[in-house]
């Protein structure tokens, strides 16, 4: 069952090692700061608030009166100049 020991070493030494490195890197990248603001990261600035972005083909979108979105606190990367 030598194969089992290889898996054992992998699971207890190698992978946690990778995990630690990945974690250190993530910390340095600032991954864990401002966790809650991340909820907004899926939206673009121009996306309407409270208005659905999907509907049946040819159909009408939900007509909920919506205010414009406040500026997204998250900085957006820009498309590199072509």
Partner 1 sequence: MNYGPILFLGIFLTVASSWCGLVLIPHLQFGRQQPVKIEETGELYPQSRPGIAQQGMAVYQANGCIYCHTQQVRAEHFGADIARNWGQRRTVARDYIFDKPVMLGTMRTGPDLTNIGLRQNSVTWHLQHLYTPVITSKGSIMPPFRFLFEQRKIGAKPSPDAVPLPKEYAPEPGYEIIPKAEAKALVQYLLSLKASAPLPETR
Partner 2 sequence: MNAASPSILAALSPSDNEELAQRRAVLAEIDASCRGPLLFLFSGSIIWLLVGTVFALLASLKLHNPEYLANYSWLTFGRVRPAHLNAVIYGFASEAAIGVTLWLMCRLCRTPLLFGWIINAAGVFWNLGVTIGVVAILAGDSTGIEWLEIPPYATPILFVSYALIAVWGVITFRFRREKHLYVSQWYLLAALFWFPWIYSAAQILLVLDPVRGTVQAAVNWWFAHNVLGLWFTPIGLASIYYFIPKVLGKPVYNYSLSVLGFWSLALFYNWNGMHHLVGGPMPAWLITVSIVASVMMTIPVITVGINHHLTMWGSFRELKTSPVLRFMVFGGMSYTLTSLHGIALALRSVSEVTHFTHSTIAHSHQGMYAFFTMVMFGAIYYIMPRVLQVDWPSARLIRVHFWAVAIGILLYVFPLIVGGTLEGMAMTNPDVPFVDAVKPSVVSLTLPYLKTRSYSGMLIFLGHLAFAISFGWIVLRWAQAGRLARLKTSLARV
Partner 3 sequence: MNSPTSTPSSSPGNDPRSRGRPAGVKDLAARDPLEHVEPGESQRPISLMLVIFLATLFSWAGYYAHRYGGGYEPLIYNENAYGLAAAKTNAAEKLDPYALGQRVFGNTCARCHQPDGLGLPGQYPPLAGSEWVLAPGPARMIRIVLDAVQGPIPVKGATFDNVMTPWRDTLNDEQIAAVITFVRTQKEWGNTASPVTPEEVAAIRAKTKARSAAGPWTVAELQALPDQEPNP
* Residue 18 or 61 with smaller CB distance to partner 3: 61
* Residue 9 or 39 with smaller CB distance to partner 2: 39
In the complex, minimum distance from the CB of residue 39 to partner 1, in angstroms, rounded to a whole number:
13
CB atoms within 10 A of CB 74: 13
# of chain residues touching partner 2 (CB under 8 A) = 43
Strand, helix or coil at 28? helix
Q: Is 24 exposed, middle or buried (0-12, 13-18, 19+ CB in 10 A)?
A: exposed
Q: Among residues 58, 67, 70, 71, which is the contact residue for partner 2, using CB under 8 A?
A: 58
């Amino acid at each position: 069952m030598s194969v089992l020991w290889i898996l054992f070493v992998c699971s207890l030494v190698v992978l946690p090692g990778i995990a630690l490195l990945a974690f250190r890197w993530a910390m340095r990248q600032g991954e864990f700061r401002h966790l809650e603001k991340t909820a907004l990261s899926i939206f673009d600035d121009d996306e309407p608030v409270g208005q659905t972005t999907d509907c049946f083909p040819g159909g009408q979108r939900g007509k909920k009166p919506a205010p414009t979105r406040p500026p997204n606190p998250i900085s957006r990367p820009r498309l590199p100049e072509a």
